[in-house]
Structures are given as structure tokens and as C-alpha cells.
Amino acid sequence: PAMRTLQRFQSNNRSRLSAGSFGTVPAGGGGAFLGLGEHSSRAPSVRSLAESGHHLAEPRAMEMYNGHGTLLGHHAGGFDDIDLPSAVKYLIASDPNLQVLGAAYLQHKCYSDSSAKKQARSLQAMPKLVKLFNSPNQEVQRHATGAMRNLIYDNAENKLALVEENGIYELMRTLREPDDELRKNVTGILWNLSSSDNLKDRLARDTLEQLTDLVLVPLSGLGGSGVIQQNPSEAEIFYNSTGFLRNLSSASQQTRQKMRECHGLVDSMIHYVNSSLEVGKSEDKSVENAVCVLRNLSYRLYDEMPPSSLQRLEGHRRNAGGTVTGELVGCFSPQSKKAREHYLNADIVTFTEVSKDPKGMEWLWNPQIVGIYNRLLQRCELNKHTTEAASGALQNITAGDRRWAGVLSRLALEQERILNPVLDRVRTADHHQLRSLTGLIRNLSRHARNKDEMSTKVVSHLIEKLPGSVGDKAPPADVIVNIIAVLNNLVVESPMAARDIVYFDGLRKLFFIKKRRDSSDNEKSSRAAASLLGNMWQYTKLHRDFKMKGYRKEDFLSL
């Protein structure tokens, strides 16, 4: 659309503006469709940066391509007679054609030129463009928002200038327009803005309710038939919006709370993920964004949720000290059959009550969400960011000593049978994925009722990931600490775990880790290994096996 406008403007206004002609230039922003709805190629811009705090890189507006996927060339004489000061002056002209020309030039010039962005700001282009966001002329709106999208890309000063010019308010007004090209630009601008940490709280305050009502609910399928029905433009609008939410959700506790409490926001994310799973679209990039949002909103969930909800989940089991472990039921020890039956019955009562018709933030701790994350782990084969986010969300809701963390852990293990899909991921995981996967297994191992059964499934897989000599490729220290913590949780209650560690050559690796103290990270894993080895020595029946492998009591008990 941007290119067609410039070409038409070229033929209609050539004599009035200059002796030269407009070339078909690379223009940013407005147009994603050319010809009869063919999606243009896109400059490589949106990358998942889940590795660094679950942020996404910001998308800038696009270069324009022709229908054959070839970048349109910049012909001689194209914009030679226009410069930035002239383009900025055109923005306040009375003729909408000149406004389009000025915005299109800015859009093109600021696509990748950081000095042009700085110069445009000094020429007061920002307030002039903001005033055009809600121009009565649709093409002016499209090009003004397209130019702004490029101006703020990777430029913190321009982002702040946009916000200070009341830009968020004007963008949310523009979002109400029934024009998909315009809505793509607006949501792209919001996504770009959300990559600045200092703007996230303000963006959450000023945009969440309207964005949810105008974009998330209708395009997730939540507000209509219940089925996702998106044309390609709407898919991009939804993708931009979920990218925006993904960035916001990694901000402050205040913003996480506001997002959890925003009517329809969590429901939209859940509905979209669920519906995508049902139609085999687990690899979808908007699913990735939505699951990352859910993961981030699950962070510190039990500390930040409403006290009334927490009290309901904790039930009558919590004592004054706030712990569950070590409780006695009458004269029964926590590990006795009677005690386990008592706990199970108490879990079922609360479980049945909480499972009824979840709404809003209740989804984040509802038992049904464990099944959603499990299906993602099983069905999403290619998008590692989605599966990493799903395992991270599970890690969040099973973390800590809260009763409900234990309930959901046992649900995951016993009803969802989640260990097998998690261990499948462990086999091929990169270091970043291993952090959340081993963190999840660590939580599950704390709350598992049957430590023997869990030991037979996990010990060999985890020991395989530990380094055993200087030349071995070692995972990060926090992954090693997680693995050793899992083994320790199992060893203290399961002789089978200790036996399997010996059988799968775990002693050699643990002693290597224990002796390696050449950094603060290695010191942590060394202390963890020493603790585990000390616990293993308590199994006297294994002493003979230890000695056959050349280890003495002092090796196990020395620090």
C-alpha cells in the first residue's frame, strides 16, 4: 500500500513538486500486503530473545518487496530532491498528499539509519507524526504510524519522545479504526515500545484493558464462536500484541499483577493456546508468545496472588510455621500409608473445589493448566522457546513449600504422567532449556509420593548430563546444582536412587564435581555433591559397592 501510494502520487504530482520523478523506494511500515493480498517478504527483525529474560526483540516496519520477492530498487532521481527537513515540513502541510510524502520519506530514511532518526527527532518530527495518527485521511494515518514504527526501532530516545507527546493515548485511539494495515502498525509500535524497561509499567497502565478488548479477546476466538478465525493481517496484529504482552510480563511485580487482573487477558491466552493445540498449531509463533506470557505471570505466583485465593488453596493443612513437610496426622509419620491417604483425600477435596470453571488469573494455578503445558511439551517438536516456556511455567507453579505446589506436582506426576515427555526434552535440550527442565524435575522430586518409582525413571538420564572429567562438556553450574538436588531429594528416601547412582557411574562424576572448586559457581556444585555423597554413605548395604570402586568412608564424608 505504501508503494502504490507513492507511485500514484508520482504520476499525479510530478510537475508540481519537482522536475525529477519518484522512484520505487524501499518504504517501511505501512504495507505488508502487495497486489491481491500476497504477503510481502519481511526484513529479518523479530527474533525470540527468550535467552535473556524472556524479552523479544522489537519489530521494525518492513522494507517493501514486489510480488516476486525482490526488493524494489531505488531508481535514479527517486527522492534526490527531498531531504529530512523538507519531509518534516510536509507533515504539517494542508495537503494530505504532501503529508503522505513526508511520512513515507521518513519511513524509508529511518529504516536503518540511526543518524536520520536522531535528526528527525531534533526537527520535531515526533509530535507532528503523533498528530497525524488520527488524521481523517487513512493513507496519512498508515504512513504516519509506519514512519513512527521505524523511528522508534532500536532508539530509546525516540520511544520516550513518542510517549511524552501523548503518543500512547493517540495510538489507542487509532487502534479502534477498522483498518488492518493501520492496526498492524499500531501493535508493532506498541511492541517496539515495550522493549524499553522504563516504559513497561506505564504501557501496562495505559493500554492493557483496551488492547484486550479490541485485539486479544476477538482475535483469540474467546469473544465469538470460540474458534480462532484470523486472516493473515489479523494473525500479524495478534502476534504483535502477544509480543507486546510478552515483554510487559517480564517487568515489575506491579505490572504482572495488573496483567493478571486485566479482565479477559489470561483467558485469551489460555483459549488461544488451547484452540491452537486442538487444530495442530502448537508451533505457531503467537502460541510461543502466549505461553511465555503465562510463564512470566506464573513467576512468584503464590507470593503475589490474592490472599483469599492463597488461603483457599492452602486449606487447613498449613501449620503456624508455614510448612507441610514433617507434619503428623494423629500418630502416623508423614511417609506412612495412612498419612498419604489422609493427604490425598485433603488434596481431592480442594482439587475438586478449585477446578470448577476457572476465570481470569485463576487459570494460572488451576489443575487444568498442567494438562495444557503437558500437551505443549508432547506436541511442539520444533519451537524450543515454546517448550522451554511451558517447562518454566510448570517450574513456577510447582516451586516452594506451599501446599498447592505439592498438589500440582503430584497431579503432574500421577495423572498427567509428565516425567516421560520432560525426560524426552532433557535428552536433546540445550543449556537454556535444561535450566527450566531440571528446575521442574527438582520440584517434582521434592513432592513425589513414590520416590522409588521416580528414581528408576530419572537417575540415569540426569547422571548422563553431569561432567566426569576435565574434557567433558559441562552444563551451566545451576543445571548441575539442580540435577544434584534432584538426586539428593530421591536418595534421602529411596535406596533405589542411591543404588542407581552407583550403577550408572554417578560416583565418579560426583567425586569429580566435588573436587572441582576453581570458581564460585563450581564451589556451589561442589558443596551440593558433597552433601549428596554424605547422604549416600548412610546406606550401609552399598558400602561394599563403594569400596569395590575404590572409595573410602573419608571420601564420602569429607567436605
Q: Please tell me the predicted confidence (pLDDT) of residue 227.
A: 79
User: Which of the four pLDDT bands, split at 50, 70 and 90, describes residue 7?
Assistant: low
213-314+337-449 folds as Leucine-rich Repeat Variant (1.25.10)
What are 244's strand-pairing partners? none
Residue 58 has a pLDDT of: 55
Higher pLDDT, 371 or 56: 371
> How would residue 30 be classed by pLDDT, with cut points 50, 70 and 90?
very low
Residue 33: pLDDT band with limits 50, 70, 90:
very low
pLDDT at 394: 98
Per-residue pLDDT tens for 409-462?
999 999 999 999 999 999 999 999 999 999 999 999 999 999 999 999 999 999
Among left, alpha and beta (phi > 0; psi -120 to 50; other), residue 477 is alpha
Q: In whole angstroms, what separates CA 439 from the centre of its chain?
A: 17
* Terminal-to-terminal C-alpha distance of the chain: 70
Question: What confidence tier does 343 reach under pLDDT thresholds 50, 70, 90?
Answer: low
Q: What is the mean pLDDT of residues 139-154?
A: 96
pLDDT the model gives residue 348 = 67
**257-280 burial, b for 16+ CB within 10 Å, e for fewer?**
bbbbebebbbbbbbbbbbbbbeee
Q: What is the pLDDT of residue 82?
A: 87
Is it the case that residue 15 has pLDDT exceeding 50?
Answer: no
Helical H segments across 21-95, by residue range: 84-90
Q: Are 525 and 513 in contact (CB under 8 A)?
A: yes
pLDDT at 341 exceeding the cut of 60:
yes
Output the DSSP codes for 453-512: HHHHHHHHHHHHTS--STTS-PPPHHHHHHHHHHHHHHHTT-HHHHHHHHHTTHHHHHHH
The whole-number average pLDDT for the span 287-311 is 96
- Which residue shows C-alpha cell 506498541? 190
What does the pLDDT average to over 515-529?
93
Cα–Cα–Cα angle for 334, 339, 342, nearest 5°? 135
The percentage of residues in the chain with a pLDDT greater than 90, rounded to a whole number, is 72
Q: Average pLDDT for residues 259-264, to the nearest whole number?
A: 97
**Measured in whole angstroms, how far is the alpha carbon of residue 286 from the centre of its chain?**
10
- The whole-angstrom distance between residue 85's C-alpha and the CA centroid of its chain comes to 41
Q: Is the pLDDT of residue 94 over 90?
A: yes
pLDDT value of residue 346: 63
**Average pLDDT, integer, range 48-76:** 37
Q: Tell me the average pLDDT across 393-409.
A: 96
Q: Convert the pLDDT of each residue in 218-230 to its tens digit.
A: 999 987 767 788 9
Q: Return mean pLDDT, the chain.
A: 83
pLDDT tens per residue, range 175-193: 999 999 999 999 999 999 9
Quote the pLDDT of residue 9: 52
Give pLDDT, residue 558.
Answer: 85
Q: What is the pLDDT of residue 355?
A: 66
**Whether the predicted pLDDT of 6 surpasses 80:** no
- Give kind and range of the element (H or E) at residue 11: helix 2-17
| Residue 77 clears pLDDT 60, i.e. is over it | no
Q: Do domains 80-195 and 213-314+337-449 have the same CATH topology?
A: yes
| CATH architecture of residue range(s) 80-195 | Alpha Horseshoe (1.25)
pTM given for the model = 0.84
Amino acid at 184: K
Which sequence spans correspond to the domains of the chain? 80-195, 213-314+337-449, 457-558
| pLDDT per residue as tens digits for the range 119-142 | 999 999 999 999 999 999 999 999
- How far is it, in rounded angstroms, from Cα 290 to Cα 274? 11
Contact between 36 and 92 (Cβ < 8 Å): no
